[in-house]
Copies of this chain bind each other. A is one copy, B any other.
């Protein structure tokens, strides 16, 4: 149906709506809320009706006439964008069918155009979670995310990236790896996220020393200047169709592995990376319980990456205890700075970051096999990584003179000490996260915990075990209470359980 476009304002109506006269809608059998697209399928609208718009005209909010090549007074042909076909695609996945490239692209592109309701996304996510997706379908999802995304351009430079499947407290390797890699002349456009269930995401930690909520344009500029960036995926909007989907389904704890793989690899591809190292922390307390799960996921990443023209390598890393010793946004950043300054910091964190950076350097032939970690370590020890980090901080709008001591700390702290001679049996990454969140992290960016012990340590009475920091006395007490109810540090016990016989 052909309409003449006019500007029309209805207060509170979002900009993806188009307004037709109710009789026109009725004659065309279009219900308010249904989806309309331009004839060439490039622009989508959601229908509302109002008798104030004359028949034959289509009203659009004035701001839609900027940018999107729509001109007031032009004729526009609108066709129904098939809620029908979206429900058919969902139905086919419910019936365990394999979706075609076209079906997947229709669904993801409709999300990109703001044409898919949360309920549609939920039904799709639920069906994928139950019935799964084949490799070809995952590739199609990734390709559609890439198609609907803006892309960084790097004019022939070698672009690499890394990605950790989250969940391990203190795994703050990104702000160490990125300056190492870019100091070696490689490009590494790092897009990170905020914490969801952990006490700090990469973005939360980085934000304590520099702006991270950069736009696509700002991030591009930083990349051109420094060969690297460390920015928030939510503001840079790379592969944002994946974020829209995950935002709709994650409040329901729906997070299909297939969509996660497609989303991660598509974002790397849109960022320009052809070599990606995936870090899979595995073990009690991490997202991946067994080696087999981790291996199978590594294989999935590799296969899908290959079909997107990417070389994927993966490492299975220990996920049964925290990596660094300081947990919480500013505490993690402080430990990173200490390592970059070569003035301290957990050896486990420095070793993991240099080991993974080394594998990337080896993977793209910047280092000989077996020599990557040594090269990465030298870049830290020479101070090159620190200068590179400060260069990126400055480019993103932060203060280049940042030091580990310039990062402020929380006003309240409490050190939990050993009550008697004891041996440290285990560190529970999950419970450490719970304690740091009880103290206020990540909203309170200075809250968190500092771990003073490691597995096997011999403790004397009065030795510090763990230190809690917070902006609130109440939250500090809550976190202290955790030591009793969900202890993050497990001390040696001779007896784990005592079964006295089963009575009814």
A129 at the interface (CB under 8 A from B): yes
Expressed in whole angstroms, the minimum distance between the Cβ of A408 and any Cβ of chain B is 21
Asked if residues A123 and B90 are in contact (CB atoms below 8 Å), the reply is: no
Query: Which of A38-46, A251-259, A416-424, A449-457 makes up part of the contact surface?
Result: A251-259
Residues of B contacting A248 in the complex (Cβ-Cβ under 8 angstroms): 119
Contact string against B for A residues 110-121, beta-carbon threshold 8 Å, 1 for contact and 0 otherwise: 000000011111
A131 at the interface (CB under 8 A from B): yes
Expressed in whole angstroms, the minimum distance between the Cβ of A85 and any Cβ of chain B is 11
Given known contacts A119-B118, A119-B122, is B130 in contact with A94 (CB within 8 Å)?
yes
Asked if residues A252 and B120 are in contact (CB atoms below 8 Å), the reply is: yes
A400 at the interface (CB under 8 A from B): no
A126 to B252 alpha-carbon distance, docked (Å): 13
A58 at the interface (CB under 8 A from B): no
A121 to B125 alpha-carbon distance, docked (Å): 13
A486 at the interface (CB under 8 A from B): no
* Chain B residue at smallest Cβ distance from A126: B126
Considering the complex, which residues of chain A in the window 119-156 have a beta carbon less than 8 Å from any beta carbon of chain B?
119-123, 125-127, 129-131
A297 at the interface (CB under 8 A from B): no
Expressed in whole angstroms, the minimum distance between the Cβ of A161 and any Cβ of chain B is 32
A83 at the interface (CB under 8 A from B): yes
* Chain B residue at smallest Cβ distance from A131: B130
Asked if residues B87 and A252 are in contact (CB atoms below 8 Å), the reply is: yes
A91 at the interface (CB under 8 A from B): yes
Expressed in whole angstroms, the minimum distance between the Cβ of A196 and any Cβ of chain B is 12
A248 to B123 alpha-carbon distance, docked (Å): 11
A118 to B443 alpha-carbon distance, docked (Å): 29
A26 to B472 alpha-carbon distance, docked (Å): 13
Residues of B contacting A119 in the complex (Cβ-Cβ under 8 angstroms): 118-119, 121-122, 248-249, 251-252
A27 to B474 alpha-carbon distance, docked (Å): 10
Contact string against B for A residues 17-28, beta-carbon threshold 8 Å, 1 for contact and 0 otherwise: 000000000110
Residues of B contacting A117 in the complex (Cβ-Cβ under 8 angstroms): 118
Expressed in whole angstroms, the minimum distance between the Cβ of A94 and any Cβ of chain B is 5
Asked if residues A251 and B83 are in contact (CB atoms below 8 Å), the reply is: yes
Max chain B Cβ within 10 angstroms of own Cβ: one of A120, A131, A248, A251: A251
A248 to B118 alpha-carbon distance, docked (Å): 11
Task: List 25 A–B pairs whose Cβ atoms lie within 8 Å, in order of A's numbering.
Answer: A26-B443, A83-B251, A87-B253, A90-B126, A90-B252, A91-B253, A94-B129, A94-B130, A118-B119, A119-B119, A119-B248, A119-B249, A119-B251, A119-B252, A120-B122, A120-B252, A122-B122, A122-B123, A123-B123, A123-B125, A123-B126, A123-B252, A123-B254, A126-B130, A130-B131
Other than the given A90-B252, A119-B119, A126-B126, 9 more pairs (CB < 8 A) read A90-B126, A94-B129, A117-B118, A119-B122, A119-B251, A119-B252, A120-B122, A123-B123, A127-B130
